[in-house]
Structure 1
Amino acid sequence: MRPLDFDYMLGLLPVILGYVPLTLFMAVVAMVLASLLAVERVIRVPGLDWLVVLFISFFRATPLLVQLFLFYYGLPQMLSFLTKINGVTAAIMRLTRHFSAYMAEAIRAAISGVDRSQWEAAHSIGMTQGRMMRRIVLPQAGRIAALTLVNYFIDMIKGTSLAFTLGVAEVMGATQKEACGNFLYFKAFLVVAILYWVTVETLNQGQKQLELGLNRAYAR
């Protein structure tokens, strides 16, 4: 059994950290786009409900890795213009579609959780649908869904690790490259595992502070 080479692991850390911004960028962009798509799905444009149901069903029922391969390697054979999409864009688009399907359900449940009497009160004073959603419903639904959405963001950060299968040099891709160069797989992947662990635990602490802040605000 080989001992751990801490000098190698510490030397590898700055190399991997250099790819953290790309990993976080993909997660943040995908999270923003997924949130917008989720709200759009909840609004339910007349005549498109069946597409919404089909969209959510497909992206919740199929693995993220299958979706990445289908979109990046499969669809370009059918639609030639997709060959111009690079790995980063493809990964962001797939993460967006995948997680928006879950987030749509979370946001829909949060909106449904707002007391119907507040909807009726808003209508009784002549509020438009858009104004009621913006000023009354969404702020309360946001409080209900906030912690769930943080969990999805954490899952999205971990999901970016699959982008290396598309040739994207993010954290996982950089680690794979370094490990292949010297065959020190355990040490390399242990470093990246600890890095993900620290990142997620930091977000967990932020989630706890967010929960305390939201509960304190509504306890007044």
Structure 2
Amino acid sequence: MPHWLQLMIDSLGPLLWAALAFTIPLTLLSFIFGLTLGLIVALVRLFGPWPLAAIARFYVWIIRGTPLLVQLFLIFYGLPSAGILLDAFPAALIGFTLNIGAYSSEIVRAAITSVAKGQWEASFSIGMSWTQTMRRTILPQAARVAVPPLSNTFISLVKDTSLAAAITVPELFQAAQRVVAVTYEPLILYIEAALIYLAISSVLSALQTRLEHRLNRYGGFMEART
């Protein structure tokens, strides 16, 4: 068996374990918390009082205008100088959540504004409250618009978690770095790590396509009924 193949087989276990134990949980938690934060920020910007809306706009401006790696360094290495100490994983989770929250808020805001004004008027005309209109009419329609860009954001997040290696989170990429430090075979190990990221992204892309097809069929059905 070639040396490079044997090395990839031997290192596959540690790399997959790092992906399952850290990369995937970090991705899922960051996206769930970030999307929740993004929804709140979007609603505040659209319907909140101007002081809160201004704060929300400032938050989005700061996060979207600075590199993710810098944000992670500020949280993990910068906050201790202010007396705030965080372990690597929580620091990465906070950094990714804030980042996803800013970007997803713009996606959600655009999706909500894309819903026709007549949908609001029709809902109010049958006695729905603002909350009922948002929950039953606006958000379901906005979701169809938001799913493709949010899915792309989720897939990008899987790859962006490799930046957590810079703040010592033992995720997939740092696991590859540790094996490289022992074997002195960076080309082989980094290619293997890239292939694992590629496999995860490919699976998610396929799931995204199926989800979009289902939403399109559902949307066509609803339009036919109306």
Q: TM-score, with normalisation over the residues of structure 1?
A: 0.94
Q: CA–CA distance in 2 between the matches of 1:9 and 1:72?
A: 32
For residues 112-151 of structure 1, the aligned pairs below 5 Å read 112-151=113-152
Aligned to 1:51: 55
Task: State the partner residue of 1:20.
Answer: 19
Distance 1:171 1:17 in 2: 7
Distance 1:154 1:77 in 2: 33
Aligned partners of 1:64 and 1:104: how far apart in 2? 16
The Cα offsets for residues 21-61 of structure 1, whole Å up to 9 and x where unpaired, read as 22110010010111111111112132211111110001001
Equivalent-residue separation in structure 1 for 2:100 and 2:37 (angstroms): 10
Q: State the distance in 2 between where 1:120 and 1:219 align.
A: 22
**1:97-176 equivalences in 2 (<5 Å):** 97-176=98-177
- The amino acid across from 1:99 in the alignment is I
Residue 73 of structure 1 corresponds to 77
Matched, 1:180 2:181: yes
The number of aligned residues is 215
Q: Give the whole-Å Cα distance in 1 for the aligned partners of 2:118 and 2:220.
A: 21
TM-score (norm 2): 0.92
- Offset, 1:4: 6.2
Contact residue 60 and residue 101 of structure 1 kept, 8 A? yes
* Unpaired stretches in structure 2, ≥5 consecutive residues: 222-226
Q: Which residue of 1 aligns with 2:96?
A: 95
Check conservation: 1:72, 1:90, Cα contact below 8 A.
yes
Counterpart secondary structure, 1:5: helix
Corresponding position of 1:29 = 29
Q: Does 1:198 align with 2:199?
A: yes
User: What is the distance in 2 between the residues matched to 1:147 and 1:87?
Assistant: 31
Amino acid at match of 1:136: T
Please tell me the root mean square deviation across aligned C-alpha atoms, in Å: 1.2
- Give how far 1:213 is off: 1.1
1:41 equivalent to 2:62? Answer no
What is the percentage of aligned positions where both structures have the same residue? 33
Contact 1:4–1:187 under 8 Å retained in 2: no
Structure 2: distance between partners of 1:17 and 1:38: 30
CA distance in 2, matches of 1:119, 1:154: 33
Answer yes or no: is the 8 Å Cα contact 1:30–1:95 preserved in 2.
yes
1:15 shift after superposition: 1.3
Deviating above 2 A after TM superposition, structure 1's stretches of 4 or more consecutive aligned residues are: none
